[in-house]
């Protein structure tokens, strides 16, 4: 790999850009792939396959070719609303995954550095907190407080911004009440049905770490769903 290409890769990684490196394993030729930008004619005929690898965040060799693709993606932003006990276990599970965790809770006695060491914590109401960050369809929301004054504004923001994953803790009755409030706020059935509520894959567990595991499993599943 040429020095100039390595310098470009280092710069893009430092800027947290999303890109891929495509390499012809037979010739050793490599170049940077970015969505919407032209690529060398030797790679161009594999554009569809390269896009598929990139979209699905996969590394590997295109079948029946010598073309290797290595993707570099930004950490996925996961916003946890509610600095509750389950959130502590969630963060422990997520530490080894490609997630950027942000904890939002206006209740300062819950959201502390002591309880969430090394995490970005915002001790503000969701409406205020979301003004401080960039969110989009690549963002995930996990709402854990059971308190409509805290969870509902976060859910509304996530629906408006079309987060790819939205989950809310609570019983079926709690979620039914949540649905009614969202309908009253103007959200349609399709939008509301995008919320995973009650949150998590049904593993049968009841304890905080077991619930957290079911949530992280669902989040990972939705993150890599094709």
Between CA 8 and CA 29 the distance in angstroms is: 15
In 3-state terms, what secondary structure has residue 60? Answer: strand
Write down the domain spans for the chain: 3-72, 76-223
Strand partners, 161: none
Structure confidence by residue, pLDDT tens digits, 110-126: 889 999 999 999 999 99
pLDDT of residue 15: 74
Q: What is the mean pLDDT of the segment spanning 40-44?
A: 85
- Structure confidence by residue, pLDDT tens digits, 122-161: 999 999 999 989 898 889 999 999 999 999 999 999 999 9
CATH 3.30.70.600 given to domain 76-223 = no
pLDDT at 97: 86
pTM: 0.76
pLDDT of 12 reads 81
């Amino acid at each position: 790999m040429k020095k100039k290409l390595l310098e470009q890769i280092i710069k893009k990684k430092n800027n947290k850009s999303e890109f891929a490196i495509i390499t012809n394993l037979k010739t050793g030729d490599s170049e940077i792939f970015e969505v919407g930008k032209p690529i060398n004619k030797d790679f161009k005929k594999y554009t569809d396959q390269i896009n598929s690898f990139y979209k699905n965040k996969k590394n590997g060799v295109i079948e029946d070719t010598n073309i290797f693709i290595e993707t570099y993606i930004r950490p996925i932003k996961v916003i946890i609303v509610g600095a509750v006990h389950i959130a502590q276990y969630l963060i422990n599970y997520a530490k080894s995954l490609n997630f950027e965790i942000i904890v939002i809770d206006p209740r300062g006695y819950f959201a502390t550095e002591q309880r969430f060491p090394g995490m970005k914590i915002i001790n503000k109401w969701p409406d205020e907190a979301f003004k401080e960050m960039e969110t989009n369809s690549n963002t995930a929301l996990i709402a854990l407080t059971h308190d409509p004054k805290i969870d509902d504004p976060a859910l509304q923001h996530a629906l408006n911004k079309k987060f790819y994953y939205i989950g809310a803790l609570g019983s079926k009755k709690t979620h039914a009440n949540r649905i009614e409030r969202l309908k009253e706020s103007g959200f349609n059935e399709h939008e509301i049905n995008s919320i995973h509520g009650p949150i998590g894959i049904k593993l049968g567990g009841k304890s905080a770490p077991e619930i957290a595991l079911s949530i992280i499993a669902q989040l990972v599943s939705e993150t890599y769903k094709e």
